[in-house]
Structure 1
Amino acid sequence: MKVKLSLLIIIISIFETYSQTGRQVYGKIISNELAVQAVDIVNLNTKKSTTSDKNGNFTIEATVNEVLYFISEDYHDLKVKITHDNVNKNLIISLTKKPIEIEEVSIEKKTTFKGIAGYNDIKMAKIEKDATAPKVVGVYTGEIVNGMDFVQIGKSIWKLIKGKKKTPTTKEEEIDYQEFIETVFNEEFFIKTLQLKADQVQLFLEYCLADEKFLETISKKNKFEMMNALISKNEEFKKI
């Protein structure tokens, strides 16, 4: 009886000793089903460590109740406790990718017009649309906000004309340019599209013909360029 009791004590001692001795724990580290390499694994109890290989596999000495700490620069840290259930299994450790940090940048808001979405292109699209739409001849519905002082406008235009140096042109040449413009663009273009009053059209044309660059554009006899030039000059004219 004593022999049996002694044998039992020895077996129990061996079992306890074995259970306290570290054993090799195997595992694989993944993220989104892909292997993760170069992850550091530390046994927080024994301070022993290892690193996962290119296939995400690792081996480390550990036993029940010890904690493995998984550390990576690109993934969130993870702690896993060794239990009776997982000590004899091939551990599958799933890590979560850290969000990418973006440095703070200063953004300046800029408004640009280029390509076919430019200001003049948008205007041209509207002009073409208006040109094909049914119109009532002789009816004007446009208005100019706050009205306009035509006497003051006349004086301002005269100052602009006197202040600019231009190549001398004869009265006949100026009339030819004006007649050419009026031939290409009818009165509805000035009233409907440019939103000028009927008694402003002549003054507006005189203002345009006083600009050398405008005359150069008109001399090319390109309808598209002429239309852009008239729209641009109209914006200047309304600011006077």
Structure 2
Amino acid sequence: MVRIILLFALCFSASLFSQQVSGTVTDEEKSPLPAVLVFNMKTEQKTYTNLNGEFTIEASVNSELRFIRQGFERRSKVIRERDFTNPLIVSILRIPGEIEEVKIAYKPIGDLNKDLKNYGDTKSVKKLKGETAKYIRSESTEEVLAPKSGEFVQPVGQGFFIGGPNSQWDDVDFMQFLIENLGNDFFTDDLQLNPSEIQPFIYYVFQNFERREVLFRGICTQYDLSRFIKEAISKLEVYRKNLPNVPPKKKKNK
């Protein structure tokens, strides 16, 4: 009788307390997906899948996990007792791109004179091309060359570089990788940035972010991805205050 009670108590406690749930997230073609946000709706704990699409997160029975990545449909999974011993295999589907309907304003009737009048640029397009050509030929001024709101301005200072001549990537490649793999939701939802601030903020973080090996090899590991996420979170406040991104002071050995 004591053994039965003890067994019941152990099962009951396992259902109450959090345990680690592991698994893999793939697309519809069974390819592993990195940088998928795994969010526990009950505890609000979150993690990201690694380059092999693998993740581990704390959860309890009946916890709801949500899997989120830009360009994919959101997927939910309610945790059962068996999920603590059997790794999860979660597949999320890509969002199909919408193709705009092409409307034909004029159908040829076989009359060459009338057909020619309805082909080529419209009046508005001709006007735009004329203004563009005039702009290109005109002299540049300080007002024209000044950066617009939200545009990236090349920072000046020590520690900012775009990669050596033998590097596989430059900073633009690395930036695109971060946006594609972390998703815009990481920057707009987690960091509360405007879409126009994403690229300037990444370059701001780059100023004192060690990435020589990433650029040289053209490979961003899960460790490098985690380093960037940590650095981005730590630099968010100073970026909002428009302060310079200075490197941390080195402690002097006594």
TM-score, normalized by the shorter chain, greater than 0.5: no
With normalisation by structure 1, the TM-score equals 0.39
TM-score by length of 2: 0.37
User: 1 or 2 for the larger relative contact order (CA 8 Å, sep ≥6)?
Assistant: 2
Structure showing greater Rg = 1
